Chain A
Amino acid sequence: MTYTFDFSFLAEYWPELLSGLMQTAQLSILSIIFGFLLGTVLAVGRTADSKAVRRICAIYVEAIRNTPLLVQMFMIYFGLASIGFKLSAEFCAVLAIVINVSSYTCEIMRAGIESIKKGQLEASDCLAMSWWQRLFLIVLPPATERVYPALVSQFILIMLATSLVSQISAEELTSTAVRIDSMTFRSFEIYTVIAVIYIALAFVFRIGFWALSQLVFPRLRRLGTPL
């Protein structure tokens, strides 16, 4: 092997990588927040009394889960542009990822909601709680706590999947790498560097989600046992 590795481009380009990293983090957090909210609404719909509502949510979820994110992204970016909606690549990226992650969040949250025992619902009814109070006080908090690890795994996958937005020329870490590659031709080196950055970011996200769990699940913080 005669190849010599050359990482010297880093000296010149690290500020760009740093801003790419920040864009990836921003994109991920936005997508996770809105994807979680939409997914939770869908999960409530999936467990609703109305059969029509359940059916509509199920069709949405199955359609999204069984097609690639990349194709969804192309459809939104090129498709909306073709019918006259000129939206920024970044907006289309967040929109596509939110739609995608919501379908996964929906299935995870549904499992959580279905794990709530009937006795809990009866108890809250017997305390004269309204439907909303029951949902937000009795059903969603323990449901979320129970499926939190699965949610975190899904959110990390979504953070990694934001790399796909480089394919619709939105700005983030991977598209920064593509650009640096085209100027320096140190392809293997630059992708190795961003691979390391992604690993670090995944690690930071895990710690962040752990800290968040300590903040929002007081029972978990005190006892440390799964619910």
Chain B
Amino acid sequence: MLTSFQIQALLVAALWTAGLSLIAFSLGGAVGLLIAVMRVSANRVLRAISFTYIQIVQGTPLLVQMMLAFFGLSILGFSIEPFTAASAAMVIYSSAYFGEIWRGGILAVPKTQWEAAECLALHPFQRFWLIIVPQGLRISTPPTVGFMVQIVKNTSLASVIGVAELTYTSKLINNSTFQPFTVFSLVAVLYFCMCYPLAWWSRKLEDKLNVAHR
């Protein structure tokens, strides 16, 4: 079995996993909203830029993005701090997916809503931000929360550049104890405890939305 010191180390590591996830939710969400708005913009250049961004990020493995952030930051002259590099990679990664999810939500708002807003003499800018974006985000809450599960799980990849989060720590402990089933089961349970509530919440939101649309 594991010593109390090892279990304590895993719990601390879980905090790093949670912290990295929160950074990805918040900063990634902010960048993602910008990407979503660019994707539905009338400006062709903005659309092209955001489209390319999404294609590149969604076309490469997060593992490679971690490596690029890690080595790229050092080229730019920053000292190599694994947690910073991992945060950067997670923000870039999650922003592309958030952007695509929210674009779908914005486009799903019925045309009649635009027309109604127009008939109320709202300025195009107001129509978009007051009428369309709130509804679009609401429609896309279930997949947004669902994607948060992916974010929490994917912070495990920060282990490859040496961030001492859950997966990295579990590997270290496994190397000294040689009890892979015990160690990794425990870690899997810890991840499950963080992810399952989000997955459950996402499903509830979806059910609620389906009822509302019936």
User: Which A residues are closer than 8 A to B by beta carbons?
Assistant: 1, 3, 62-63, 65-72, 74-75, 78-79, 81-83, 156, 160-161, 163-164, 166-167, 174, 177, 187-188, 191-192, 194-195, 198-199, 202-203
Contacts and interface: CB of A to CB of B under 8 A. Distances in A.
A187 B78 CA distance: 16
Contact of B167 (A70, A156, A188, A195): A70
Contact of B149 (A65, A199, A203): A65
A160 B181 contact: no
A13 B156 CA distance: 30
B162 interface: no
Nearest to A66: B195
Contacts of B9: none
B112 to A, nearest CB: 22
Contacts of A3: 75
A104 to B, nearest CB: 11
Contacts of B154: 68
B113 interface: no
B195 A67 contact: yes
Contact of B59 (A69, A74, A81, A203): A203
A71 B14 CA distance: 14
A192 B69 CA distance: 11
Q: Which of B58, B60, B75, B170 has the most CB of A within 10 A?
A: B60
Interface in B38-54: none
Contacts of B184: 71, 74-75, 78-79
A212 B59 CA distance: 20
Given A74-B174, A75-B188, A174 B64 contact: yes
Nearest to A70: B156
Interface in B82-98: none
Given A74-B174, A75-B185, A164-B157, A66 B63 contact: no
A66 B61 contact: no
Given A65-B195, A71-B191, A187-B71, 11 more contacts: A1-B75, A66-B153, A66-B196, A67-B188, A68-B154, A70-B156, A74-B174, A74-B180, A160-B60, A195-B65, A203-B59
A83 B180 CA distance: 10
B149 to A, nearest CB: 7
B16 interface: no
A198 B61 CA distance: 8
A174 B68 CA distance: 12
A163 B153 contact: no
A82 B181 contact: yes
Given A74-B171, A74-B184, A82-B178, A69 B153 contact: yes
A202 B64 CA distance: 14
B140 interface: no
Contacts of B160: 167
Nearest to A188: B71
28 contacts: A3-B75, A62-B199, A65-B149, A66-B153, A66-B195, A66-B196, A67-B153, A67-B188, A67-B191, A68-B154, A68-B167, A69-B156, A71-B167, A71-B187, A72-B188, A75-B181, A75-B184, A75-B185, A78-B174, A79-B180, A163-B61, A163-B63, A188-B71, A188-B72, A191-B67, A195-B64, A195-B68, A198-B59
Given A82-B180, A195-B64, A202-B59, A68 B153 contact: yes
